[in-house]
C-alpha cells in the first residue's frame, strides 16, 4: 500500500466536523478504496475550544488557515470556511501556489472566482475538486464530468436548495404563510438566522452557474443568472397551483439558446405528473438532458453534515486514486465565454394572480391589454369575497415571450381597478 495521503482542513463547522468523523469511522474502508491511508494532519478554525463532537488532539492546530495552507504537512488542503472572499479565497490561492491539491465545498467562491481558480490549479498541475459545492451528497459533478461525458447536454434544471423546497412543501401541506413556515425552518436549523441567500435564490444561482459551466463548457457566469426568490409566493398561490394541476418549486434552469446561454432561478409551476413535483422537503434533485442519454435524474439530500462530508471525502478519494480530470469537464483554458440570453427573450407560459376591484369593465380592460401585447389567455379562475374587497383572479397564458408579458403586467398594474401589484410565476414544461 502507498504511503498515507495527508490532508489539512480549514473550517470545522458542521461539514468540517463531519469530515473528521467520517474519516475516523471509515478509515479502513477509505484506505482499501484509495490504495493508501487517508490521514488528517492539520486543522484550523476560528474557535479552538468549542466542542465539535470529535477529538482534535491528534491534529496540529493553526489559528490562521492561510498559514496552515502554506505550512502544514499535507498534500491536500480542504477549504470549508465559506464565502466568496476573505480567508476562504486566500486559503485556496495559497494552497495552489504551494502546489497542494484543493477540495472545497464553497459554491460562492467558485461561482465568483471559479474560472480563474480553475485555470490557476491546472497551470500548477494540481487537482481542484468541488463535488460538495453543488447539491450536497448528490454526486452531480462526477456524473456530469464522467458519466455523461459522451453527451452534449442540452438542458439542465433542478431543485438546488433544500431550505426553499422545505418551505414550499410545508406551505402546501399546512396552508400556512411563508413567514410562519420560514420561522419554523429557522427553529429547526433548516434556514439561517439571515436566510436571504437561500430564500432570495442566490444559493441556487451559485450552484446553477457552476453546473452550467460543466454542462456547456463555458466560463462560470454568475452575473448572467436571472434570479428571483420565493418571498412573494403565498399560500393562496400554492392553493391555486394545486387546483390547476401544478406544484410550485424554486428551480435553477440552464440551456443554450440562439441568443446565448440562458440561466434562470425563480419559482416555477410544474405539472403534478412531472417527476420533479414529487421531490419534497429538504431534498434536492437535478435533471440533465443529453442528446444520447435522454433525461437523467439525480436526487438526494442537498445539505447537512453527513451528505456534504460524504461528497468532500469522495473528492479526497479521487485524488488519492490519482483520478485527474479537467476542472470543469474541459481544460479551464478552453472554456468559452458565452453570450447571455436575456430573460426578456425567454418564451413560456405564465400564471398571473391579480387582486381586482369588482367593477364593471375590468375584464374587458385586461383582455384588451393582452390582445395588444399578443398574449393569449388559457384559463381563468376567480374567487368571490365580501362586498368592497378585492377579488383574486388567476389567469394562465399560452406560451409567449417574456418581454410581452412584462409589458402587459406593467399596463395591468397601472389600472385603477387593480388593488395590488400583480404576481407572476412562470409555468415550466418538463418531462413527464
Cell representation of residue 24 = 475516523
- Tell me if residue 268 falls in helix, strand or coil: strand
CB-neighbour burial class of residue 64 (10 A; exposed 0-12, middle 13-18, buried 19+): middle
- Joined together, the cell numbers standing for residue 40 give 488528517
Catalytic-role residue among 107, 112, 142, 207: 207
**HSE-up of 200 (CA within 13 Å, CB side)?**
6
* Beta pairing partners, 100: none
For strands 38-44 and 400-401, give the pairing: unpaired
Distance between CA atoms of residues 403 and 47, nearest Å? 51
Cα gap 42→60, rounded to integer Å:
5
User: Annotated catalytic, 112?
Assistant: no
- Distance, in Å, from the CA atom of 7 to the CA atom of 42, rounded to the nearest integer, reads 7
Query: With contact defined as beta carbons under 8 Å apart, do 37 and 323 qualify?
Result: no
- Show Cβ contacts of residue 415 under 8 Å, excluding neighbours closer than 6 positions: 362, 365, 366
Pairing mode of beta strands 76-79, 101-104: parallel
- What's the residue count for the chain? 432
Catalytic positions: 207
Amino acid at each position: 500500500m502507498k504511503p498515507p495521503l495527508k490532508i489539512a482542513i480549514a473550517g470545522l463547522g458542521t461539514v468540517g466536523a463531519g469530515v473528521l468523523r467520517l474519516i475516523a469511522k471509515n478509515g479502513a474502508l477509505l484506505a482499501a478504496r484509495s490504495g493508501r491511508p487517508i490521514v488528517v494532519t492539520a486543522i484550523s478554525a476560528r474557535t479552538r475550544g468549542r466542542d465539535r463532537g470529535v477529538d482534535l488532539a491528534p491534529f496540529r492546530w493553526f489559528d490562521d488557515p492561510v498559514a496552515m495552507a502554506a505550512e502544514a504537512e499535507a498534500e491536500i488542503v480542504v477549504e470549508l470556511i465559506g464565502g466568496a472572499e476573505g480567508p476562504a479565497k486566500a486559503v485556496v490561492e495559497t494552497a495552489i501556489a504551494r502546489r497542494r491539491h484543493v477540495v472545497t465545498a464553497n459554491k460562492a467562491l467558485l461561482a465568483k472566482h471559479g474560472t480563474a481558480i480553475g485555470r490557476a490549479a491546472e497551470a500548477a498541475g494540481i487537482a481542484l475538486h468541488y463535488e460538495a459545492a453543488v447539491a450536497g451528497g448528490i454526486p452531480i459533478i462526477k456524473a456530469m464530468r464522467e458519466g455523461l461525458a459522451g453527451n452534449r447536454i442540452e438542458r439542465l434544471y433542478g431543485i438546488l436548495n433544500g431550505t426553499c423546497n422545505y418551505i414550499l412543501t410545508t406551505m402546501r401541506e399546512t396552508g400556512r404563510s411563508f413567514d410562519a413556515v420560514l420561522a419554523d425552518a429557522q427553529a429547526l436549523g433548516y434556514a439561517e438566522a439571515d436566510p436571504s441567500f437561500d430564500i432570495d435564490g442566490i444559493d441556487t444561482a451559485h450552484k446553477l452557474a457552476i453546473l452550467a459551466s460543466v454542462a456547456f463548457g463555458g466560463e462560470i457566469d454568475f452575473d448572467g443568472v436571472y434570479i428571483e426568490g420565493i418571498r412573494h409566493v403565498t399560500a393562496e398561490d400554492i392553493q391555486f397551483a394545486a387546483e390547476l394541476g401544478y406544484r410550485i418549486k424554486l428551480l435553477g434552469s440552464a440551456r443554450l439558446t440562439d441568443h446565448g446561454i440562458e440561466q434562470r432561478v425563480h419559482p416555477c409551476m410544474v405539472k403534478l405528473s412531472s417527476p420533479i413535483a414529487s421531490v419534497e422537503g429538504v431534498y434536492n434533485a437535478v435533471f440533465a438532458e443529453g442528446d444520447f442519454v435522454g433525461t437523467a435524474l439525480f436526487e438526494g439530500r442537498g445539505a447537512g453534515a453527513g451528505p456534504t462530508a460524504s461528497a468532500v471525502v469522495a473528492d479526497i478519494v479521487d485524488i488519492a486514486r490519482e483520478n485527474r480530470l479537467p476542472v470543469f469537464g474541459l481544460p479551464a483554458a478552453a472554456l468559452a465565454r458565452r453570450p447571455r440570453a436575456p430573460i426578456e427573450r425567454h418564451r413560456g407560459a405564465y400564471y398571473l394572480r391579480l387582486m381586482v376591484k369588482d367593477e364593471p369593465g375590468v375584464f374587458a380592460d385586461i383582455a384588451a391589454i393582452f390582445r395588444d401585447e399578443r398574449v393569449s389567455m388559457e384559463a381563468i379562475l376567480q374567487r368571490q369575497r365580501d362586498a368592497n374587497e378585492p377579488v383574486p383572479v388567476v389567469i394562465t397564458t399560452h406560451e409567449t415571450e417574456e418581454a410581452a408579458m412584462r409589458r402587459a403586467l406593467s399596463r395591468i398594474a397601472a389600472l385603477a381597478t387593480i388593488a395590488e401589484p400583480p404576481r407572476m410565476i412562470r409555468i415550466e414544461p418538463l418531462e413527464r
